[in-house]
């Protein structure tokens, strides 16, 4: 007589039983796994240096003698240093002039290039080229255009209209103005594209109704186009102000803050203090204040925009 042993059968799954799930990261963890490499890079190359900069702003940095705690002295020095206050004035001037000029020219270009004609894509692309051009290359080209001699390119053009030779970037009284012209030329096409996107969202029936009511071109722009572009203008003003406060490359390439500090801005002043004078603590304090100023401006504009939307 032989004994047979049979293995117990696994309980059969009913129709409502759920299938086995493979073990792995949950749905909430999976996106963070994809973001982890970028977050690590940002943490190491951006946020850790930013935190270190805030920490150094409270010290008199002496690489070989040891850092000395000075508290808020570096921040007080930012507001008492005459050259830095002059640089703040130059920065605000460039921010206002470049913001206003770029938006005005960008709005005019958007009105001229609005439409669905097939040939407009080429004109728009050509007008947008200054935005995608490297600012270092743009600065060198404009330095050649601004050559102050009588046979300079722009001075030759001015001579056709009976205007005498200009000093351009060599003239301390007008160098800041000519730097702002470069900024307007570069940023106006960007504003044009944003305004074009806003114009595409305006209902054409509003223009037709305004025309039937006898409104002319100026009245339609004033009472139809501009009110509809208010959200777009708010975004452009915010971006342009931030861009103006952080201006560095074009000034550094064109004049490096000269002549005689007539075009020195906050960023070039910070660069000079940190990398040429070696005053890391003072430069860090100025950088922190610039960051706080931009952050405050962004928050104020955002709150203002939300109140208008309610």
Question: Hey, where are the domains in the chain?
Answer: 81-278
Q: Look at domain 81-278 and name its CATH class.
A: mainly alpha
Of 147, 152, 137, 136, give the one whose Cα is nearest residue 171.
Answer: 147
Q: Are 194 and 113 in contact (CB under 8 A)?
A: no
Mean pLDDT estimate for the chain: 84
Res. 161: pLDDT tops 50 = yes
The tokens 């409270």 sit on which residue?
58
Per-residue burial over 39-73, b = 16 or more CB atoms within 10 Å of its CB, e = otherwise: eeeeeeeeeeeeeebeebbbbbbeeeeeeeebeee
pTM strictly above 0.75: yes
Residues 247-291: pLDDT tens digits?
Answer: 898 899 999 888 888 899 999 999 998 888 888 899 999 999 999
């Amino acid at each position: 007589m032989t004994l047979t042993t049979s293995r117990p059968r696994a309980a059969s799954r009913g129709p409502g039983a759920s299938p086995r799930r493979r073990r792995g990261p949950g749905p909430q963890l999976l996106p963070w796994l994809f973001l982890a490499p970028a977050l690590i890079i940002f943490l190491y190359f951006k946020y850790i240096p930013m935190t270190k900069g805030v920490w150094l702003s409270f010290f008199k940095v002496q690489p070989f003698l040891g850092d000395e705690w000075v508290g808020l002295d570096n921040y007080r020095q930012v507001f008492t240093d005459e050259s830095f206050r002059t640089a703040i004035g130059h920065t605000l001037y460039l921010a206002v002039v470049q913001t206003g000029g770029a938006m005005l020219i960008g709005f005019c270009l958007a009105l001229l290039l609005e439409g669905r004609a097939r040939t407009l894509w080429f004109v728009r692309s050509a007008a947008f080229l200054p935005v995608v051009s490297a600012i270092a290359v743009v600065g060198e080209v404009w330095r050649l255009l601004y050559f102050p001699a009588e046979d300079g390119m722009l001075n030759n053009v001015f001579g056709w209209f009976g205007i005498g030779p200009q000093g351009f970037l060599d003239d301390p009284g007008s160098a800041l103005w000519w730097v702002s012209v470069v900024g307007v030329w570069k940023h106006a096409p960007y504003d044009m594209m944003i305004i074009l996107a806003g114009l595409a969202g305006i209902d054409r029936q509003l223009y037709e109704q305004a025309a039937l009511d006898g409104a002319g071109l100026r009245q339609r722009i004033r009472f139809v186009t501009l009110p509809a572009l208010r959200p777009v203008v708010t975004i452009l003003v915010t971006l342009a102000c931030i861009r103006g406060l952080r201006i560095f490359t074009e000034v550094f390439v064109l004049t490096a803050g000269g002549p005689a500090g007539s075009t020195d801005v906050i960023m070039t002043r910070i660069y000079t203090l940190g990398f040429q004078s070696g005053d890391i603590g003072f430069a860090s304090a100025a950088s922190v204040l610039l960051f706080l100023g931009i952050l405050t401006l962004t928050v104020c504009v955002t709150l203002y925009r939300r109140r208008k939307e309610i």
